[in-house]
């Protein structure tokens, strides 16, 4: 069960990532869901995100961006879930150090679609470093890309 | 030496990547140089590219985007350089199939700076698949990130 | 359904990988199963495979080796499955070109156990290049490592 | 300059990795050099290391093993170099936590040759996590493979 401290920090992080990160706003990224069970980030296709005008597909950099954001949020929610006695202060400090160490993207098929949704899971949960796997699907459930990322969480 | 067919295709590709890719325009990406010796892609810091408002640093997705574009262009120029008897038609067909298979980004330090420049080299040149390494530096020469990408070229 | 040509080539490949690759014999690698649904490769712990005498755990290079072999076999079975009109000759030629382009290993936990089993799935099936994800578990079902590999298949 | 504590720990680590790791002995791995400037690990071709009997080339798992060992040693020497006031005790504790988080291998060309040498450099030096790049060459200077690894160092 999510305790109030966990709930508060996740809500705040979701708000920041949804509204206060300039590059997320430029792309139109939406944090649809963010809780201890994971994260759902979506992005709507729009002309500015296109990487190939003939094929009308999402630029690979958009895919990488969404998967990196999903990975960071997933790593952080895994950290939040790892203890139920965090103080808000401690979690805020941890958030300061949250960062991507390395990221691998596997592009599976062209980014065709109207709405793309990224999800992730923690595969190695650490007190300092976490590793996550991420996926991007379009609205028809086509699997567009996989990601694997190593994140600093402390 | 670069022959006229090679020069023409590289010039055309540079123009397309510089002006006609919507996502490159959104970010403000510049193809500064593109010839058989390599590519130089730059991007100027602007508020919309920021990933962390407190630290005023480039979003990791921008870094990934620039390095992926550099890698694709590097792989393609390596292909163009591999033969001096290409026809324009053949190279246009190859360009259609150009795509990222997988990409690794290593984030070395926070993306602080005014102008970020990406460069790359081919480390495995193939007729179907090429592997490139890419780097991103800021205007002071600080090394921001490394990339390693596997590209389909035929 | 598996046709006779597919069955024959997979059987032959399994025999070669099981018995005729010197490094597989050195490690004691076993191809337990190899069909169109996938592959199962196992390795029994023995003193020579240890990477850390105090902790008595599998060397990370053994993990990488098993996952790379699993990935190559998975990519090849995916190619075999992609058509039902292959000739034995064609598949033998494809086997000649089978090779790892790049490989990522994520080490999740120390390699403790008696028997380690690697399995894999194709995540991008191509006529030239395939991408696979692989996993290594011990006999208790503990997840030791993930792999992601890009393979040349033609 | 290397101080006595640094010199002692590096000498001891080199001895352990050279003589007391069973899997290194099985492969015949040699720690040729290990100091604050880096590491040189070599391996001599022998029949048991072969991955393809027709082509008589090194198994990709051997390449991965050598590059992973080089990366771990490189990360640790970077940590040792980062301070000149380490105690032997502190460094021994750090060594206990040394481990590979993730590893990427780029296979550039077939592993032909008599003696293979791995070298590495730190590209991101951290107090907890370091990222290294590694290379494997044969005795003629042919570049066989690149590696990129993320290592826990504390």
We report the CATH number of the domain holding residue D130 as 3.10.129.10
Residue D106 has φ and ψ, to the nearest 5°, of -110, 115
Q: What percent of chain A has pLDDT over 90?
A: 95
Tokens coding D124: 């991101």
Q: Measured between CB atoms, does C64 come within 8 Å of chain D? A: yes
Lateral strand order in the sheet of B99-107:
A29-35, A38-44, A115-124, A129-138, A143-152, A99-107, B99-107, B143-152, B129-138, B115-124, B38-44, B29-35
The predicted structure's pLDDT at residue B86: 96
Tell me the three state secondary structure of residue B90: helix
Q: Measured between CB atoms, does D109 come within 8 Å of chain B? A: yes
Quote the CA–CA distance of D73 and D121 in Å, as a whole number: 10
Contact A103/A118 with Cβ under 8 angstroms? Answer: no
Q: What percent of chain D has pLDDT over 70?
A: 100
Q: Measured between CB atoms, does A108 come within 8 Å of chain D? A: no
Radius of gyration of chain B (CA): 15
pLDDT in tens, A18-67: 999 999 999 999 999 999 999 999 999 999 999 988 889 999 999 999 99
pLDDT at D3 over 80: yes
Q: Measured between CB atoms, does C123 come within 8 Å of chain B? A: no
Minimum distance, in Å, between the CA of residue C77 and any CA atom of chain B? 20
| D99 contacts on C by Cβ (under 8 Å) | 107
CB contact under 8 A, B133 and D146: yes
**Angle at B17 (CA atoms; ends B11, B18), nearest 5 degrees:** 85
The predicted structure's pLDDT at residue A53: 82
CA distances from A128 to A95, B34, D151 (A): 12, 41, 12
Tokens coding B137: 């530096």
The predicted structure's pLDDT at residue C3: 93
pLDDT at B151 over 80: yes
Q: Which of C22, C50, C106 is opposite residue D50, by nearest beta carbon?
A: C22
Looking at residue D127, what DSSP letter applies? S
Structural domain count of chain A: 1
Q: What is the ipTM of this complex?
A: 0.97
Tell me the three state secondary structure of residue A24: helix
Tell me the three state secondary structure of residue B117: strand
Minimum distance, in Å, between the CA of residue A131 and any CA atom of chain C? 8
Q: Which of D106, D109, D143 is opposite residue B148, by nearest beta carbon?
A: D106
**Closest Cα to residue D41, out of D106, D119, D101, D153?**
D119
CB contact under 8 A, A101 and D152: no
Q: Measured between CB atoms, does D129 come within 8 Å of chain A? A: yes
pLDDT in tens, D62-109: 999 999 999 999 999 999 999 999 999 999 999 999 999 999 999 999
Looking at residue A129, what DSSP letter applies? E
pLDDT in tens, A60-76: 999 999 999 999 999 99
The predicted model gives D20-24 an average pLDDT of 97
Contact A68/B104 with Cβ under 8 angstroms? Answer: no
CA distances from C142 to A87, C115, D46 (A): 32, 11, 34
Minimum distance, in Å, between the CA of residue D145 and any CA atom of chain C? 10
CB contact under 8 A, B128 and C101: no
pLDDT in tens, B85-107: 999 999 999 999 999 999 999 99
DSSP string, C91-108: HHHHHHH-EEEEEEEEE-
Tokens coding D99: 């481990």
Minimum distance, in Å, between the CA of residue D122 and any CA atom of chain A? 14
Tell me the three-class secondary structure of A26-44, residue by residue.
HHCEEEEEEECCEEEEEEE
CA atoms within a 13 Å half-sphere pointing along the CA-CB vector of B62: 34
Range of the domain at B29: 4-152
DSSP string, A51-111: EETTTTEE-HHHHHHHHHHHHHHHHHHHHHHT-S---HHHHHHHHHH-EEEEEEEEE-S--
Residue B95, burial from CB neighbour count under 10 angstroms (0-12, 13-18, 19+): middle
Provide the pairing of β-strand A29-35 with A38-44: antiparallel
**Closest Cα to residue A153, out of A105, A67, A82?**
A82
């Amino acid at each position: 069960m999510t305790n109030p401290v966990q709930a508060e920090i996740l809500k705040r992080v979701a708000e920041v990532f949804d509204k206060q990160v300039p590059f997320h706003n430029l792309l139109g990224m939406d944090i649809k869901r963010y809780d201890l069970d994971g994260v759902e980030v979506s992005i709507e296709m729009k002309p500015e995100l296109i990487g190939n005008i003939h094929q009308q597909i999402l630029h690979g950099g958009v895919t990488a961006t969404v998967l990196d954001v999903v990975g960071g949020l997933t790593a952080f929610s895994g950290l939040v879930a790892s203890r139920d006695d965090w103080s808000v202060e401690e979690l805020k400090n941890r958030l300061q150090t949250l960062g991507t160490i390395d990221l691998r993207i596997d592009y599976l098929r062209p980014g065709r679609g109207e709405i793309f949704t990224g999800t992730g899971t923690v595969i190695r949960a650490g007190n300092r470093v976490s590793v996550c796997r991420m996926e991007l699907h379009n609205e028809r459930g086509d699997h567009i890309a996989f990601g694997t990322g190593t994140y600093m969480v402390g």
